[in-house]
Amino acid sequence: MTTDKALHILVGIDLSEMDQHLIDYMGVLDHILNIEKITFIHNLKLGELPKELVQPERIELLKTRIAEKVKRMIGSTSATYEYEVQVHCESYSEVAFMNITKKHPFDLLVLGNKQELEGNGGLADKLVRIIPAATLLVPETYQTPVTTIIDAIDFSRYTSLIMGWADRFKNNSKGQKIVHSAVHVSKFYWGFYPTMTEKEWEKATREDIKEKQDKWNKKYANYSDIEIVPAEDKNISASLIQYARRKKADLMILGVKGSTGIKEIFLGSVANHLLHRPTNTCLLFVKAPKA
């Protein structure tokens, strides 16, 4: 996907207060990114509907009313982008998202990342893994305008993808001035070597930082500088959140391992930990395309 390609964006809404924040944020993105179309999707869970509503004609009426409500909310923002609203009816919301992405390829999925609003984020946990598109999690506490972006580098196959999305924001043609910088968290797992002294651990950390700095300079020096920070006694996700807070970052981009089905969700990664940490920073998870 080239950095100037017009984007097809899918936005998940749940008829909560979060919806207006997401709709407003689409206006923010429209002033930065080249957007071709935005599709808003809501799923009516069959198992949560009263029995009197589980009839085809009643469901269709309910879907129409929900779509009309969402369109009014979008209209109140003076949106200039092309959009549509889809209301599905599946027992599980992740099934609705999987079905629509199979029929229509999307470049970006946008979901709420509730901080103070009610919600446990369970759906986002799943969708960030199983939907093939890049996924942007937006907290209702986001800041505007978007001016500062952090590229969280782990020197994996995701590095070039992360930098590509960062360039999409930085080199936007709409005049929004955005700066981005790269960061890598050095985490030398002391627990793997319980016999090491503190001095030996500090030496190993310095060597790891130097190795990563040299690797960056050799391959990506023309892209940007990189700041390599030691995690010390924190895990990588906590270090990234702390770094984003210190830099007052509006957006952080990082790679995430995808999976092929609901039962194969990969847990325990940095991305998974980030999903459960409070942050005012928007999180953009990018994925490597399937081979």
Predicted local distance difference test score (pLDDT) of residue 188: 64
- Pick from 115, 110, 107, 112: nearest CA to 241: 115
Distance CA(138)–CA(70), nearest Å, equals 18
Q: Residue 230 belongs to a domain with what CATH number?
A: 3.40.50.620
The reply to whether 129 and 3 lie within a common domain is yes
Distance CA(16)–CA(14), nearest Å, equals 5
Q: How many domains does the chain have?
A: 2
Counting every residue written for the chain, the total comes to 291
The reply to whether 133 and 150 lie within a common domain is no
Judged against a pLDDT cut of 60, whether residue 266 lies above it is answered with no
Predicted local distance difference test score (pLDDT) of residue 121: 75
Distance CA(259)–CA(131), nearest Å, equals 8
- Pick from 209, 251, 246, 214: nearest CA to 229: 209
The reply to whether 22 and 105 lie within a common domain is yes
Out of 114, 140, 166, pick the residue that ends a domain.
140
Predicted local distance difference test score (pLDDT) of residue 37: 97
CB 19, CB 8: distance < 8 Å: no
Distance CA(38)–CA(247), nearest Å, equals 30
For 62-76, what is the mean pLDDT?
95
Give the type of residue at 52: E
Q: Which residues pair with 134 in a beta bridge?
A: 108
Q: How confident is the model at residue 264 (pLDDT cuts 50, 70, 90)?
A: very low
The reply to whether 111 and 156 lie within a common domain is no
pLDDT, tens only, 71-129: 999 999 988 999 999 999 998 999 999 999 999 999 999 999 999 998 777 888 889 88
Distance CA(286)–CA(161), nearest Å, equals 7
The reply to whether 202 and 128 lie within a common domain is no
The reply to whether 150 and 69 lie within a common domain is no
Q: Compute the mean pLDDT over every residue in the chain, rounded to the nearest whole number.
A: 87
Distance CA(185)–CA(242), nearest Å, equals 11
The reply to whether 254 and 286 lie within a common domain is yes
- Pick from 172, 131, 133, 135: nearest CA to 29: 172
For 19-23, what is the mean pLDDT?
97
Angle, CA 219 vertex, CA 213 and CA 225 arms, to 5°: 50
Distances in Å between the Cα of 74 and the Cα atoms of 71, 86, 100 are 5, 13, 21
The reply to whether 101 and 205 lie within a common domain is no
Out of 108, 140, 172, pick the residue that ends a domain.
140
Out of 106, 123, 140, pick the residue that ends a domain.
140
Q: Which residues pair with 137 in a beta bridge?
A: 111, 283
The reply to whether 203 and 83 lie within a common domain is no
What single-letter DSSP state applies at residue 33? S
The reply to whether 75 and 105 lie within a common domain is yes
Predicted local distance difference test score (pLDDT) of residue 96: 95
The reply to whether 50 and 187 lie within a common domain is no
CB 151, CB 282: distance < 8 Å: no
The reply to whether 156 and 205 lie within a common domain is yes
What b/e string do you get for 271-286 counting C-beta neighbours within 10 Å, with b at 16 or more?
Answer: bbbbbeeebbbbbbbb
For 267-289, what is the mean pLDDT?
81
Domain carrying residue 128? 1-140
Which of 57-61, 84-88, 134-138 comes out lowest in average pLDDT?
Answer: 57-61
What single-letter DSSP state applies at residue 189? -
